[in-house]
């Protein structure tokens, strides 16, 4: 069980998976503010705070590498109790359950692609991110964040939307927005996605934990076509020339399932990470 499940999961609900616990998808719609209470300042939301904290760490990357490494260690040790957004890779089968459970579900623009690629997604035909829950009812409070608006989707529509991005090779990452509250399931790729990049390039774990699954290949069914190699965002699959087949490095595998959904011969399956002694603590 990952540390987020230990903190926010319910052992009696969906094998203790925190992101499938309905409580983590639930929130009040309204709050009564005291007469003298001012609205929170811009940037005080968890997403912005997390970005700011990671930004502060990054400034030491070249100026003070020791401090940079130390701050990353400290951030990882906080395990979500600090001001860092929690994100975890999930396979599409679990993303389906999430969009069935949460309401409303809306497509929206990806903030990472704006920041990292200057790529604006201006309308529902271009959006690639998915917002979840009551927060989406107040999207107009941040017009700069939600450029173009949002597009509310029924569960079946949301599933088709996830399939569209999965086919394109995007990793589904479930994201929190304050505590354990699940506010989005992003469709991510390297290097656009800030969370994947922070994890893969710098070792900042909180925003991109590995999934509860790990990919396993059936060599009898693998034809060595290489589709899975192309689809893996984490460099966990390589083509083995001597075998004429592909091979998965399970220690590197994030369990996103893109190799599984892309495999033309169904040679790859996802197995429970915790069933493998060497991987059960690798998140």
Partner 1 sequence: MKEIYEAKNYSYELNPDMLKLLREEFDVDKVTSKFTEAIKGKSAGEIEAEGKAIFEEYGRNWIRQSQKLGEEYPDRTYEVLLEAIDKTGGYLRFALAPQRFLEIAYLSTQEISILPIIENNVNRLVYRMVDCDTYKNLKEKCGEEVANLLPCRHACLTACETLHRDLGIDALVQMEAQIPKDGYCQFAARRA
Site for partner 1, rule CB under 8 A: 22-23, 25-34, 100-104, 106, 134, 136-144, 147-149, 152-155, 157
Cβ distance to partner 1 smaller for residue 82 or 155 = 155
Cβ distance to partner 1 smaller for residue 137 or 276 = 137
DSSP secondary structure, the chain, as one string: --HHHHHH--TTSGGG-GGG-GGGG---S--PPPTTPPPPPTT-SHHHHHHHHHHHHHTHHHH-HHHHHHHHHHHHHHTTSSS---EEEE-HHHHHHHHHHSSSEEEE--HHHHHHH-----STTT--EEEESGGGGGGGG-TTTTTT--EEE-HHHHHHHHHHHHHHTPEEEEEESSTT-EEEEEEE-TTT-HHHHHHHHH---TTSB--SEEEEE-TTT-----HHHHH-SSS-EEEETTTTEEEE-TTT-----HHHHH-TT--EEEEEGGGSTTTTT--
Cβ distance to partner 1 smaller for residue 96 or 142 = 142
- Cβ atoms 109, 159 nearer than 8 A: no
Q: How far is the CB of 176 from partner 1 (least distance, A)?
A: 16
Q: How far is the CB of 137 from partner 1 (least distance, A)?
A: 5
Cβ distance to partner 1 smaller for residue 82 or 104 = 104
Q: How far is the CB of 94 from partner 1 (least distance, A)?
A: 15
Q: How far is the CB of 31 from partner 1 (least distance, A)?
A: 5
Q: How far is the CB of 81 from partner 1 (least distance, A)?
A: 21
Residue 186 Ramachandran class (φ > 0 left, ψ -120 to 50 alpha, else beta): beta
Cβ distance to partner 1 smaller for residue 66 or 140 = 140
Q: How far is the CB of 140 from partner 1 (least distance, A)?
A: 6
Cβ distance to partner 1 smaller for residue 39 or 241 = 39
Cβ distance to partner 1 smaller for residue 105 or 112 = 105
Q: How far is the CB of 153 from partner 1 (least distance, A)?
A: 7
């Amino acid at each position: 069980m990952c540390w987020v499940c230990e903190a926010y999961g319910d052992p009696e609900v969906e094998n203790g998976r925190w992101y499938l616990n309905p409580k983590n998808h639930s929130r009040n719609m309204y709050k009564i503010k005291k007469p003298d209470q001012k609205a929170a300042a811009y940037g005080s939301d968890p997403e912005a705070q997390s970005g700011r904290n990671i930004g502060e760490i990054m400034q030491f990357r070249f100026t003070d590498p020791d401090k940079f490494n130390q701050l990353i260690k400290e951030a990882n040790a906080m395990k979500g109790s600090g001001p860092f957004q929690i994100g975890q890779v999930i396979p599409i089968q679990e993303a389906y359950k999430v969009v069935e459970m949460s309401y409303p579900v809306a497509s929206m623009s990806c903030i990472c692609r704006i920041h990292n690629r200057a790529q604006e997604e201006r309308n529902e035909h271009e959006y690639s991110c998915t917002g979840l829950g009551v927060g989406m009812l107040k999207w107009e409070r941040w017009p700069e964040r939600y450029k173009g608006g949002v597009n509310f989707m029924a569960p079946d529509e949301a599933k088709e939307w996830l399939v569209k991005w999965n086919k394109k090779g995007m990793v589904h990452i479930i994201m929190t927005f304050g505590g354990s509250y699940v506010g989005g399931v992003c469709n991510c790729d390297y290097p656009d996605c800030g969370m994947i990049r922070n994890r893969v390039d710098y070792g900042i774990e909180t925003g991109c934990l590995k999934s509860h699954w790990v990919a396993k290949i059936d060599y009898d069914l693998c034809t060595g076509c290489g589709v899975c190699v192309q689809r893996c965002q984490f460099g966990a699959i390589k083509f083995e020339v001597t075998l004429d087949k592909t091979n998965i490095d399970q220690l590197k595998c994030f369990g996103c399932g893109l190799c599984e959904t892309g495999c033309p011969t169904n040679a790859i399956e996802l197995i429970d990470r915790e069933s493998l002694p060497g991987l059960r603590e690798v998140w």
